[in-house]
């Protein structure tokens, strides 16, 4: 296992410590709940936006905490849902007069934890509501999921509600907005390698050199099929068509297009994928208003990528263009 860590049980806490040490002015940390939050929250002026899923998907979600994005994140261990008390404490500590919105990707463990925490918080009179993300078109049910999985499209939900909450939107308006984004965003991914959680010490699934898992989940869940490795353009054709046909996206649509690396794929390859994806968008009559080529939602060191399309209107375009300040930067 050629990875950087110390005690595997400290993988998540030490990552959180490093993140807060690197961002001492903007982030704070509550070790008991793996909770990373904006140092200027809670606030009287805005609804708090929170999320917590498994770790191992970084930058999702602890590195998406910042002005205009999440106000707090409270991840569980690697690929494990956060315990209920993490979610409950996160809601409670971020609560202000305008309430709390939680975002949950559609996995049974995550949903159960957040829904129980919501009930506990509601019983205390906290104004809290949730939205669910299920953008993965690959498969309907999977190891951890009833229905579709929530994957990289989650970032667009965060961006939209994060921006709107800065502009003063109330909780009900944010729920409506988040559900709208989720209804307009579609994703599918492919894995070229597996990945190894530090505490497990062995790969989460087996895949040979020259193979790929088409439609993989971000915890290595099976996709549509195991196939032989193909040329980049062929892979993107399949991902793009699956995603675009699903909504469906239609000629004349304005879109945001994301090519997301799964953790072990270098950015050079992501731009080779973007090239073909942009060609396909053009051929379909879609206008790319904004593009995103980077790592957003990963699976540890897995080589692979996902493609996300979001259908835009004036409201969503303005929200994507609103400022956001999160820890990740290259100068």
The DSSP element (H or E) to which 90 belongs, if any, is: helix 84-94
**Binding-site member from 138, 265, 306, 308 for its own copies (CB under 8 A):** 265
Three-state secondary structure of 29-42: EEHHHCEEEECCCC
Q: Which residues are within 8 A (CB) of 314 and not within 5 positions of it... i.e. 6 or more apart?
A: none
- Residue 144 annotated in active site: no
Residue 315 half-sphere exposure toward CB, CA atoms < 13 A: 13
Strand-pair partners of 101? 49, 129
Q: Which of residues 228-257 bind its own copies (CB under 8 A)?
A: 229, 231-233, 235
DSSP state, 267?
Answer: H
Binding-site member from 17, 45, 119, 124 for its own copies (CB under 8 A): 17
Minimal distance in Å, beta carbon 205 to its own copies?
14
Strand order in the sheet with 225-228: 225-228, 211-214, 185-191, 304-312, 254-261, 287-294
Using the minimum distance from each CB to its own copies, give the nearer residue, 95 or 182.
Answer: 182
Q: Give the integer Cα–Cα distance in Å for 75 and 87.
A: 9
- Which residue of 211, 237, 238, 246 would you call a contact of its own copies, by CB under 8 A? 211
Among the listed ranges 131-139, 140-148, 267-275, 307-315, the one in contact with its own copies (CB under 8 A) is: 267-275
Residues 20-79 within binding reach of its own copies (CB under 8 A): 21-22, 55-56, 58-59, 63-64, 69
What is the rounded distance in angstroms from the CA atom of residue 83 to the CA atom of residue 33?
Answer: 9
Q: Is 15 in the site for its own copies (CB under 8 A)?
A: yes
**Total residues at interface with its own copies (CB under 8 A):** 68
SS3 298: coil
Segment 98-117, which members bind its own copies (CB under 8 A)? Answer: none
Q: Compute the distance between CA of residue 215 and CA of residue 208 in angstroms, rounded to an integer.
A: 16
Q: How far is the CB of 122 from its own copies (least distance, A)?
A: 31
Smallest gap from Cβ 55 to its own copies, in A, equals: 7
1 binds its own copies (CB under 8 A): yes
Nearer to its own copies, 10 or 241 (CB): 10
- The DSSP result for 128-178, as a single string, is EEEEEE--B-S-SSBTTBSSPPP-TTHHHHHHHHHHHHHTT--HHHHHHHH
Which residues have a catalytic role annotated?
57, 219
Residues that bind its own copies (CB under 8 A): 1-6, 11, 14-19, 21-22, 55-56, 58-59, 63-64, 69, 155, 159, 192-193, 207, 209-212, 229, 231-233, 235, 263-275, 278, 291-296, 298, 300-301, 303, 305, 324, 326-331
């Amino acid at each position: 296992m050629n990875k950087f860590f110390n005690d595997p049980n400290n993988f998540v806490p030490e990552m959180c410590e490093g993140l807060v040490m690197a961002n001492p002015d903007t982030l704070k940390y509550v070790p008991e709940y793996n909770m990373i939050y904006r140092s200027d929250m809670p606030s009287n002026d805005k609804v708090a936006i929170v999320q917590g899923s498994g770790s191992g998907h970084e930058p999702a979600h602890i590195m998406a905490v910042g002005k205009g994005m999440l106000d707090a994140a409270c991840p569980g261990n690697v690929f494990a849902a956060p315990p209920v008390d993490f979610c409950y404490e996160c809601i409670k500590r971020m609560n202000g007069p305008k309430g709390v919105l939680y975002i949950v990707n559609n996995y049974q463990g995550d949903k159960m934890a957040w829904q129980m925490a919501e009930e506990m918080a509601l019983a205390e009179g906290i104004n809290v509501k949730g939205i669910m993300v299920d953008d993965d078109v690959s498969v309907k049910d999977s190891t951890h999921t009833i229905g579709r999985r929530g994957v990289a499209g989650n970032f667009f939900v965060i961006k939209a509600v994060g921006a709107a909450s800065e502009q003063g939107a109330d909780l009900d308006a944010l729920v409506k907005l988040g559900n709208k984004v989720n209804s307009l965003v579609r994703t599918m991914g492919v894995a070229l390698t597996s990945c190894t959680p530090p505490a497990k010490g062995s790969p989460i699934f087996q895949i040979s050199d020259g193979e790929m898992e088409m439609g993989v989940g971000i915890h290595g869940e099976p996709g549509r099929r195991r196939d032989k490795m193909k040329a980049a353009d062929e892979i993107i054709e399949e991902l793009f068509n699956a995603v675009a046909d699903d909504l469906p996206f239609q000629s004349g649509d304005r879109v945001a297009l994301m090519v997301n690396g799964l953790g072990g794929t270098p950015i050079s390859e992501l731009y080779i994928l973007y090239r073909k994806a942009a060609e396909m968008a053009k051929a379909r009559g879609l206008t790319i208003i904004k593009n995103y080529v980077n790592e957003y939602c990963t699976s540890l060191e897995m080589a692979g990528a996902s493609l996300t399309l979001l259908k835009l209107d004036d409201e969503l375009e303005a929200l994507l263009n609103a400022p956001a300040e999160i820890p990740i930067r290259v100068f």
